[in-house]
Structure 1
Amino acid sequence: MTAEQKEQLIKSQQGELNAVLIYQRLARITKHEKGEEVFSEIAADEGKHATILKSYTNEVLKPDGKKAKVVGFLYKLLGHNFVMGLLEKGELKSIDNYEPLKNDFPKIQQIIDDELRHAAMAKSLLR
């Protein structure tokens, strides 16, 4: 593993941990009829991704709740559709970060597949 790869894996691991809190918060505050179920499922997947990444980095990281608070605030202020658009873009952007790693780290493909599914799930919640 190169230093650059390790840095990207750690950054991604932190992002996945933060995403767990973001989706858990959204599951609690959403008014969308399927939102709680969808957000809870995505949160669980993001936790699995963090575990996969930890198996490569051997780093113990803690989630940062600040982003979850900001996303929750934006959800209340700007609304459901605005935040769904942000989440869809975020999931797709994460794929771009994972693509260069997938050949050296086989479990990354599973994460990519999940992130594609998450983007579709977020899009499905648009009203």
Structure 2
Amino acid sequence: MAKENIKDKLLIFQKNEITEYEIYRKIAKSTKDENNKKVLEKIAQEELNHYNIWKSYTGIDVKPNKVKIVFYVFLSKILGLTFSLKLMEKGEERAQVNYKEVFDVIPEAQKIEEQEQEHEAELLSMIEEDKLNYIGSIVLGLNDALVELTGALAGLTFALQNGLLIASSGLITGIAASLSMAASEYLSQRAEGNENALKSAVYTGITYIITVFLLILPYLLIPKNYFLSLILTLIIAVIIILGFNFYISVAKDLPFKKRFLEMAGISFGVAGLTFFIGFLVRVTLGIEI
């Protein structure tokens, strides 16, 4: 490999290291949990050490990527420490492949790669986030809302053919179902001896209500075109399923494609069936609104 090419690669590695140093340092600074803070600071120091190793070969100071720093620090505040750092670690995995290209020239490259691989394990053992402890309750609320409400809205769309009436019916059904689901989760968790049963119920109920609101939103915005509203509702359902499963696949290291297709298949299967039932109800009962 040409000397110039090696130097270009080292400068890229160098920029990545100093950028990730700043990300870990800034997140550590705003982290209240002392254990999390110590591990983040340790990893930040490792990133700085790696930067200095690359610098000893290039002889050049490199500035961090400020956009990337702002993005990941902001992401950690919105979507949590686990998700944002694991998403960044996936970028490090790609960088480790590039390290292999300079193994023969830079002896320290292999050591750096080994240290980078330890980061993810450290992060997994370190992170204790409330929302991840209640992921089962969130899945329960989200999945039930998607399956039940997409199905109900599809059936109501053909049966009622009135946007505001469909939205009102969906909202009443959704709120009642969210309260019922939260109560069931509370009783289920209490029966299992969970001291945080109420918190689990709150996560389930809030997730359900938020999902309900997002799904009925098209009917409130364009009430006259109820079939277009149904299409938009189904698109929103896909986006919710896509976003949630991506989040879980990153934060919990679970397969994305299988979980996404399973949840989407169930939701759309129920929606299709209830749309057909709505058609039968309208034709059989002769409903005209």
Fold similarity call, TM over 0.5: yes
Name the counterpart of 1:72.
73
Change (3 A) 1:75 1:44: same
Identical amino acids, percent of aligned pairs: 34
Question: CA contact under 8 A between 1:17 and 1:46: conserved in structure 2?
Answer: yes
Change (3 A) 1:87 1:30: farther
Distance in structure 2 (CA, Å) of the matches to 1:60 and 1:80: 29
Counting only pairs closer than 5 Å after superposition, residues 11-30 of structure 1 correspond to structure 2 as 11-30=12-31
Show structure 2 runs of 5+ residues with no match.
129-289
Q: CA deviation at 1:126?
A: 4.6
Which protein is richer in helix relative to its size?
2
Name the counterpart of 2:53.
52
Name the counterpart of 1:63.
64
Q: Deviations over 1:16-48 (max 9, x none)?
A: 111110000110223445211111001101111
Question: CA contact under 8 A between 2:86 and 2:120: conserved in structure 1?
Answer: no
Distance in structure 2 (CA, Å) of the matches to 1:81 and 1:17: 21
Name the counterpart of 2:5.
4
Q: Deviations over 1:41-90 (max 9, x none)?
A: 01101111111001111112122333222111101111222113213313
Distance in structure 2 (CA, Å) of the matches to 1:126 and 1:93: 23
Show structure 1 runs of 5+ residues with no match.
none
Q: CA RMSD in A?
A: 1.7
Name the counterpart of 2:44.
43
Name the counterpart of 2:126.
125
Name the counterpart of 1:102.
103
- Could you tell me which amino acid in structure 1 is paired with residue 61 of structure 2? V
Distance in structure 2 (CA, Å) of the matches to 1:28 and 1:65: 17
Distance in structure 1 (CA, Å) of the matches to 2:62 and 2:79: 31
- Could you tell me which amino acid in structure 2 is paired with residue 24 of structure 1? R
Question: CA contact under 8 A between 2:36 and 2:127: conserved in structure 1?
Answer: no
Q: Return the structure number with greater relative CO, CA threshold 8 A, min gap 6.
A: 1
Q: CA deviation at 1:106?
A: 0.4
- Could you tell me which amino acid in structure 1 is paired with residue 49 of structure 2? K
Structure 1 stretches of 4+ moved >4 Å? none
28-37 or 74-83, larger mean C-alpha shift: 28-37
- Could you tell me which amino acid in structure 1 is paired with residue 64 of structure 2? P
- Could you tell me which amino acid in structure 1 is paired with residue 76 of structure 2? Y
Distance in structure 2 (CA, Å) of the matches to 1:61 and 1:84: 22
Normalising to structure 1: TM-score of the pair? 0.88
21-30 or 84-93, larger mean C-alpha shift: 84-93
Q: How many residues align?
A: 127
Question: CA contact under 8 A between 2:76 and 2:84: conserved in structure 1?
Answer: yes
Q: CA deviation at 1:91?
A: 2.7
Larger radius of gyration: 2
Q: Secondary structure at the match of 1:103?
A: coil
Question: CA contact under 8 A between 1:95 and 1:112: conserved in structure 2?
Answer: yes
